[in-house]
Chains A and B, each alone.
Chain A
Amino acid sequence: MIVPHSALGVGIGYRRELDKAFTSHVDAIDFFEFIGDTCFDEDVLARVTTLSRSMPSVCHTLGLSLGTREPLDRAYLRRLARVIASVSPRWVSDHLAITSVGGMQLGHLTPVLFCHDTVAYMSEKVDEVQQYLGTKLLLENITCSVVLPGAELSEPEVLSLLAAKSGCGILLDLNNLYINSHNLDFDPYDYLRSFPLAYVDQVHIGGAKHENDGSLSDSHGHPVASEVFDYLAFVADRRPAIATLLERDQNFEPIDDVLADMHTAREILARATTLPIRSTSSGEVR
């Protein structure tokens, strides 16, 4: 079977610093991703809403904290719903992560335990978000140097079960995979081969920073590593024309460097062949 895809093309995350690029290089941008949380500011919401009239958009959020074992923050959801109503993105994405718990804001994405129990309570929360917002939710893999003990499942298995159970999609962050495989020393292709690619609606690419201690961190301010482009080729061969988004949060200039990464991604998508695809019951694509 040929897995259906969204054909959004290659996009970039909207940041105020990139405003000019959205005017002067509009041909290089097929779609954009905006941070839902920043649109709680009326000025940003107005700008993003205007931009959404000229090209497709997707929404990325940071504050749902879907991995927390407590009810959703309804006030946050209400504010988000207002943004969604104004911009009408194709979908909303957040992370397989915890960002707040018991009233504490962690200010960062922290890991969940990969187990059946997590799948059970998270799928309920995912379902609730999708019902409330009236749009599809995508879950994204995060970077983390810590592996919580007691795991029963792998990350791809957790995402696969969540997608199957709640009907959500997956945002596969290839830069996060690059960083995790380096920092935690595992084979990224083993990960990709076990990944439920049939559920993947979007991928993130971005730059990583080499830290002094030899580790990698997700800077979103450096050129995309060749390894990440290799992963994109691997995914694109199995999931053609996957919506591919460049995350860039700093070092916006020279803009040609940013555009070059998008161009490379576009070339990879164009080159991708439609291999015979077999989708398993768990969403795994071979």
Chain B
Amino acid sequence: MATFNVQVVLAHIYRRPDLRVSLAAGDVSPLAAFELTSEETESVLSLVRDQRSKLEHFAEALTKKRILRLQSFFPLLGACIGDKRWRLLLDDYCRKVPIVPGADREDAIAFFCHLEHSQAFADLTELHLRDLGAIEAGFARAGQPHALQYTAENTCRVADFSRLRVSLDPSASITALNHDPTLLLEWARSGGRSSVAASSELVHVVFFPARLQRRSHLLARISGLLARILGRADGRSSISMIAAEECGDSMSPEFVEALEGTVEHFLDKGVLVCMTEET
């Protein structure tokens, strides 16, 4: 069991459920290509036969670890897609694609390529999820360290937004990454397409779509949060970037609550937040 050929066979056994099924049934034909001695073949068979459940448990552990690593690159996408569908997509990838040689990042990029071409992903009705996945795959490609600070824990509230049809704005978020916070603030003041607030502590960015800017009562509440953000970062205690303009229109209470909660939650974690209401 210590020869190179046996080690290769074991690697295949750990990764391929079909091979485990064949060998458990006594079918040794899949081993022909590996040039094992009869003694080695018998040893491999005894492993599969005598420790089948342990072997399945171990193989499952391998997949779980891989999935955990993949999830760390796509926390927002995973949260928005939902646990059940997300797990199916990950399982499908891990079953069809052997782990990519090299670092986890390459595996994550390959996963999104696989996802983009899969029927399951094409069947998703929430089109903004494609943008979300593209952004996170972009983070993986760029090795953007701040983006990689997302964790399952600090993205839990994003699920609220998936129900409220809120998606990320790819152009805005990508443009904003690595910009100096003061430039982002100027951008916001200039009345650009989104209102933006940022702190210089890490990269805290909050985007609000133009439509949202008209909801002054909401923005007044949010501005309090933003003031705290900026105050914490550079000593400023208030901001005037969001103009108060009563319009009488109101957002749903659920949206307001989710927005406020998410801003607080993400900022406490020191991560990037980019949001645009889907129109």
Q: Do A and B bind each other?
A: yes
Taking beta carbons and an 8 Å cutoff, which residues of A are in contact with B?
16-17, 37, 40-41, 43, 67-70, 98, 100-108, 110, 112-113, 115, 117-118, 121, 144-150, 213, 215, 217, 250-251
Q: Please give, as numbers and ranges, the residues of chain B lying within 8 Å of A101 by CB-CB distance.
A: 4, 7-8, 10-11
Q: How many residues of B contact A (CB 8 A)?
A: 40
Asked if B149 and A17 sit within 8 Å, CB to CB, the answer is yes
B98 interface residue, CB < 8 Å from A? yes
Separation in Å of the B10 CB from the closest CB of chain A?
7
* In the complex with contacts A105-B101, A105-B102, A107-B65, A215-B57 CB distance below 8 A: yes
What are 23 pairs between A and B in contact, CB < 8 Å?
A: A16-B148, A37-B103, A41-B143, A67-B7, A69-B2, A69-B4, A98-B11, A101-B4, A101-B8, A101-B10, A104-B98, A105-B101, A107-B107, A108-B66, A110-B14, A115-B2, A117-B2, A146-B47, A146-B58, A148-B47, A149-B1, A149-B47, A215-B57
Among candidates B43, B51, B99, residue contacting A147 with C-beta atoms closer than 8 Å = B51
* In the complex with contacts A104-B11, A145-B57, A251-B153 CB distance below 8 A: yes
Q: Please give, as numbers and ranges, the residues of chain A lying within 8 Å of B61 by CB-CB distance.
A: 108, 145, 217
Separation in Å of the B37 CB from the closest CB of chain A?
12
Query: Which 9 interchain pairs have the tightest Cβ spacing?
Result: A113-B1, A69-B4, A113-B2, A107-B99, A150-B1, A108-B62, A102-B8, A117-B2, A145-B54
The digit string for B6-34, where 1 denotes a CB below 8 A from any CB of A, is: 01101110110000000000000000000
Q: Please give, as numbers and ranges, the residues of chain A lying within 8 Å of B46 by CB-CB distance.
A: 149
Separation in Å of the B238 CB from the closest CB of chain A?
26
Summed over the interface, the residue pairs from A and B with CB atoms below 8 Å come to a total of 100
B151 interface residue, CB < 8 Å from A? yes
B172 interface residue, CB < 8 Å from A? no
- C-alpha spacing A41/B50, complex, angstroms: 43
Separation in Å of the B186 CB from the closest CB of chain A?
27
Asked if A107 and B69 sit within 8 Å, CB to CB, the answer is yes
Separation in Å of the A239 CB from the closest CB of chain B?
30
Separation in Å of the B214 CB from the closest CB of chain A?
37
Q: Please give, as numbers and ranges, the residues of chain A lying within 8 Å of B240 by CB-CB distance.
A: none
- C-alpha spacing A144/B103, complex, angstroms: 23
- C-alpha spacing A149/B39, complex, angstroms: 12
B3 interface residue, CB < 8 Å from A? yes
Among candidates B8, B145, B153, residue contacting A104 with C-beta atoms closer than 8 Å = B8
Q: Please give, as numbers and ranges, the residues of chain A lying within 8 Å of B102 by CB-CB distance.
A: 105
The digit string for B61-91, where 1 denotes a CB below 8 A from any CB of A, is: 1101110010000000000000000000000
Asked if B7 and A68 sit within 8 Å, CB to CB, the answer is yes
Asked if A98 and B99 sit within 8 Å, CB to CB, the answer is no
Q: Please give, as numbers and ranges, the residues of chain A lying within 8 Å of B51 by CB-CB distance.
A: 146-147
Q: Please give, as numbers and ranges, the residues of chain A lying within 8 Å of B122 by CB-CB distance.
A: none
The chain A residue sitting closest to B10, CB to CB, is A110
Known: A105-B99, A107-B69. 17 other contacts (CB 8 A): A17-B149, A37-B103, A69-B2, A98-B11, A101-B8, A101-B10, A101-B11, A104-B11, A106-B14, A106-B15, A107-B66, A118-B2, A146-B51, A146-B54, A149-B1, A150-B43, A250-B151
Which of A17, A108, A215 has most chain B Cβ within 10 Å? Answer: A108
Separation in Å of the B105 CB from the closest CB of chain A?
9
Q: Please give, as numbers and ranges, the residues of chain A lying within 8 Å of B225 by CB-CB distance.
A: none
Asked if B47 and A105 sit within 8 Å, CB to CB, the answer is no
- C-alpha spacing A147/B10, complex, angstroms: 12
Separation in Å of the B179 CB from the closest CB of chain A?
18
- C-alpha spacing A34/B248, complex, angstroms: 55
Q: Please give, as numbers and ranges, the residues of chain B lying within 8 Å of A149 by CB-CB distance.
A: 1, 43, 46-47, 50
